[in-house]
Amino acid sequence: MGLPSLRAAAGALRRACGPWMPRLGRRLPGVPPMAGKAETPALAPVGTRPEPDRRAGSGWQGAGRVWEDTEQPAKKLKRSADGEPPRKLPKRKIVLLMAYSGKGYHGMQRNVGSSQFKTIEDDLVSALVQSGCIPENHGEDMRKMSFQRCARTDKGVSAAGQVVSLKVWLIDDILEKINSHLPSHIRILGLKRVTGGFNSKNRCDARTYVYMLPTFAFAHKDHDVQDESYRLSTSTLRRVNQLLACYKGTHNFHNFTSQKGPREPSAQRYILDMFCEEPFERDGMEFAVIKVKGQSFMTHQIRKMVGLVVAIVKGYAPGDLLERSWGEAKVDVPKAPGLGLVLERVHFETYNRRFGCDGLHEPLDWTQEEAEAAAFKEQHIYPTIISTERHERSMAQWLSTLPAHDFSATAHAAASPGAKDPSPQEGSEGDDGDSD
């Protein structure tokens, strides 16, 4: 059958049956008719588009349920005090160069939950929160801002070049705002952007400390005056530097800290340099500065290194005691006062070689801040050391305790009855970073 025949048959069928009408089924009891559909709608003429029912968007009601196509209200952003919507600033990893006078503080590291022992980080975190660099909950839990310090300076120890790493909001005039909430004896001297995974403690290659002391500490106990009138001779300064040079290299410093066994690997420390500079006079008293650079230091290590040299120069301890202190025998090493100890600088040579010249990051070089750091020492650190020594006489009082030490009493660990070799973890402080 061809196409014309099919069309003729279809036309005949339409004429015989009439137009097609939809057949509605029987409505179930209890079910109301659809809204707007009570009457059968008329068919639209052929070739025209049916008019859409504009009421369909309002929903369908039936059987006790109502479906609505409602629009959800937009969330309202919290507004700041001045009525402006808040800005979501990204957090960036940075380092801060710090200087502080440690007198009156129980060290650098914060002791969360202990308000009676005030530390430098207590004041720093408070200033960061008040200036808007970190949220308040980050001040309560410093891990949230990835905070790390290069050195855990001890009680009373000052710093002219401490470096801490953390994540902050880089707000406008950030240094000025932080310093405005800090006391005058704590200053932020510089800021630099670093890599996202930067850790100031782990990335630090070495630390340089200085120890400032009155030169009468080197006066011989038998034939020198023991007061402020003493002046350091050239021969005595040469003797001091000969002893200090013996510390250079890698040695076992278990006798220069507490709770560290002689066979613990972490007791091995590498000293790059140690020497005493030419003396100078301040307010009628002569002072000298001992400078030491090492990879890292244990608790009280530098103060004991200075204390042992002083004891030898003054004639209380034998000259060979310094080398014997690196053996396994227990040696009584005196600890010099913490007043004169200052963290001078921290070094990042390896980081600078890898990232300092990559075009994306700047090297951690604080040459531009050296003048400000030196001015801070002259204004806040050195005057505090001098005035405290004059009024409290911490060095003079400590020197008077040296005769009480028994420098000849040594005991080998293996020779002690019932003694055992300590394990690598036994007696360890858990953190081999610098903490003098």
Cβ atoms 289, 307 nearer than 8 A: no
- The answer to whether the beta carbons of residues 193 and 93 sit under 8 Å apart is yes
Residue labelled with tokens 């002791």:
111
Rounded distance, CA 273 to CA 51, Å?
Answer: 94
> Is the Cβ–Cβ distance between 131 and 177 less than 8 Å?
yes
Helix axes 234-245, 301-314, angle to 10 degrees: 140
Residues 6+ apart with CB under 8 A from 5: none
Active-site pick, 123, 154, 434, 436 = 154
- Can you tell me the distance from the alpha carbon of 426 to that of 259, in angstroms, rounded to the nearest whole number? 8
* Length of the chain, in residues: 436
> Tokens representing 298?
């244990």
Residue type, 366: W
Q: Give 169's contacts (C-beta < 8 A, 6+ positions apart).
A: 89, 90, 91, 92, 132, 133, 134
Active site residue 154: yes
Could you tell me the two tokens for 407? 């420098």
Dig out the tokens for 74 from the structure: 């937009």
Q: Is 389 helix (H, G, I), strand (E, B) or coil?
A: helix
Provide the b/e sequence for 293-304 (b: ≥16 CB within 10 Å): bbebbbbbbbbb
Stretch (H or E) spanning 66 = strand 65-67
CA–CA distance, 58 with 66 (Å, rounded to integer): 10
Does residue 169 sit in helix, strand or coil?
strand
C-beta of residue 255 within 8 angstroms of C-beta of residue 264: no
H or E stretch including 243? helix 234-245
H/E run at residue 16: helix 3-17
Q: Return the CA Rg of the chain.
A: 40
203: its two tokens = 């990335």
Residues annotated catalytic, as ranges: 154
